[in-house]
Amino acid sequence: MKDMNTRANRIDPRIYAALIFAAYLFMYITTASGANRDSAGILAETQRVVYYYADQLLLVAGLLVFGFLWDRINNTAGWIVLSLACAAYLICFFVYMLNGGWISYGIMAPVMFLAMGIIGAGVNYYLSYSLAPGKETGRIVTLGAAIAFLAQYIFQILLDNGVLVLTLITITTVIVYAFLKWETGNENRVIPSAVSQDKCQVNSDNCRYINKRFNYSIIVLLLLIILAQSYDSRLLLMIVKNPGASITPYSWPRIFVILGYCILGMAFDFGGIRIANVTCFAMSLWMLINPVLFAENPGSTLNMCIFYTFVGMVICYMYIIFWSIAPYTKRPALNASMGRVIDGSFGVISALLPWESMSESAVMIISILSVSLMAVALLVSGVIPKPKETEPARESEESELSLEKEDMTEVKVTEDDAFEIIAGKYDFTDREKEIFRKLVLTEDSGQEISDEMYISRRVYQRHVATLYGKTGAKSRVGLYQIYHDTMMSQLNA
């Protein structure tokens, strides 16, 4: 375990996060595509539809189980739940591949989706607080998606080799398992959610802003799902009307999902949530016009490429937007997966609408209403810029900024005082005081701190154990709480 921790500390965090996301995404899309495609001829069409939506709801159930339980259990219990989920998924996938009959799709697949929900919630939670402070989340997610979708298309669709797929699923499950084990056992990390909740207690305006962003992101995602469903129904109708079309949901245009990830990922990295939402709105307008432009060539590869690009953008949205907001909410374990929860549950609800029996004009009206509501939501949320402020307003804003700078100066001055008070209260040595400062003010790993201080990892761990013993804290977050409480008492004084 020590060697694994050392290696994990040496890997570039961006590559590390991209590989973990790619591993889990490969597990999900391979299982979902296989269960849906391979059940043809084994299950009746009605059964296939029922099992597909039941699997999606079980995935949502797994996400919710992790989200609601994680704040109520300790790391050890959480790790047991995640370990059981990984074991159940891998065992069921082996049986699913080897059996290939009704047992695979009626029993094994539902258990796999439930387990994937629990595993996915853990991955979403840890990646959310690992990536939230950075500015490269979009590129990391795009890289992970590219690896996952290309691997799935090559090994499952083109080669259709069960042995290779089984081998890759085993490897990716082990990778995800090792990642979750490392993260649940990593006490040397300040979880941003704990920090942010403390900030929320001091600044209620910040909390209102976070809740506002979160709620409007949910609305935008719901409307994006409706648009994707309506466009999908129109494509299926086009293909039915043109039986000669060679395009299927598993053809090569599905690779354009990666382009959708790339478009939204770049928008998020260079402009944050605001530009990401504007990009979604612009793409939604294009999806509204596109079926009209290409109506004379129904079921074409171009239509499918555009559709999958939009789907990729929607999937990317539900990951990076909610990952970026979740660490600053009161229930980060649940909210990090909220995008997938909404996609799975509302996707099932929207699919129950009689899209096949709707006329083309009715579907168009639904699309127009969805885009219009999205525009209203973005306007109300402040994503669409407001008119220029007057000079007095700008002067007022500048004075507020100067006051904030003065406040930050005061905090900086009292910071050293807080450390001196804590060191005196708990009788820290100079070395313990230095390590305590790094633990609460940086996100450096234990290995990084020991390297910076030119001490061995064992000596560092002994100092940390002493800090825990003197303060009564059980984790790095507990040490931060002591520092925060001391700071607040100084500021109030």
Asked if the model's pLDDT at residue 245 lies above 60, the reply is no
> What value does the mean pLDDT take over residues 211-216?
82
pTM above threshold 0.85? no
220 and 325, same domain (yes or no): yes
Q: Are 347 and 190 in contact (CB under 8 A)?
A: no
Q: Is 356 helix (H, G, I), strand (E, B) or coil?
A: coil
Q: Is 331 helix (H, G, I), strand (E, B) or coil?
A: coil
171 and 92, same domain (yes or no): yes
- Work out the end-to-end distance of the chain between its first and last CA atoms, rounded to an integer number of angstroms: 45
- What are the tokens at 204? 């209620």
Predicted confidence band at 408 (pLDDT cuts at 50, 70, 90)? very low
Domain that residue 435 falls in: 395-492
Asked if the model's pLDDT at residue 1 lies above 50, the reply is no
Query: Tell me, what's the pLDDT at 76?
Result: 74
> What value does the mean pLDDT take over residues 254-282?
90
Distance between CA atoms of 359 and 357, rounded to whole angstroms? 7
Count how many domains the chain has.
Answer: 3
Distance between CA atoms of 399 and 391, rounded to whole angstroms? 12
- Residue 304 domain-assigned (yes or no): yes
Distance between CA atoms of 481 and 194, rounded to whole angstroms? 9
Strand extents, DSSP E, 229-336:
none
Say which DSSP state 46 is in. H
Select from 328, 362, 386 the last residue of a domain: 386
212 and 158, same domain (yes or no): no
Distance between CA atoms of 73 and 80, rounded to whole angstroms? 11
Q: Are 156 and 268 in contact (CB under 8 A)?
A: no
Kindly report the number of other CB atoms within 10 A of residue 226's CB atom. Answer: 21
Asked if the model's pLDDT at residue 70 lies above 50, the reply is yes
Distance between CA atoms of 251 and 237, rounded to whole angstroms? 17
User: Residue 463 belongs to a domain with what CATH number?
Assistant: 1.10.10.10
Asked if the model's pLDDT at residue 185 lies above 70, the reply is no
Residue 53 parent element (H or E) = helix 45-70
Asked if the model's pLDDT at residue 212 lies above 50, the reply is yes
Longest Cα–Cα distance of the chain, Å, equals 81
Predicted confidence band at 85 (pLDDT cuts at 50, 70, 90)? very high
- Residue 198 domain-assigned (yes or no): no
Kindly report the number of other CB atoms within 10 A of residue 438's CB atom. Answer: 17
160 and 249, same domain (yes or no): no
Predicted confidence band at 312 (pLDDT cuts at 50, 70, 90)? very high
H helices of 294-390, where? Answer: 301-325, 332-335, 338-351, 360-381
Q: Which burial class, exposed, middle or buried, applies to 476 when counting CB atoms under 10 A from its CB (0-12, 13-18, 19+)?
A: buried
What is the CA angle 146-148-152, rounded to 5? Answer: 115
Q: Please state which of the ranges 12-16, 318-322, 338-342 shows the lowest mean pLDDT.
A: 12-16
Select from 326, 361, 386 the last residue of a domain: 386
Select from 189, 214, 248 the last residue of a domain: 189
Asked if the model's pLDDT at residue 25 lies above 70, the reply is yes
- The distance from CA 455 to its chain's CA centroid, rounded to whole angstroms, is 36
Query: Tell me, what's the pLDDT at 384?
Result: 52
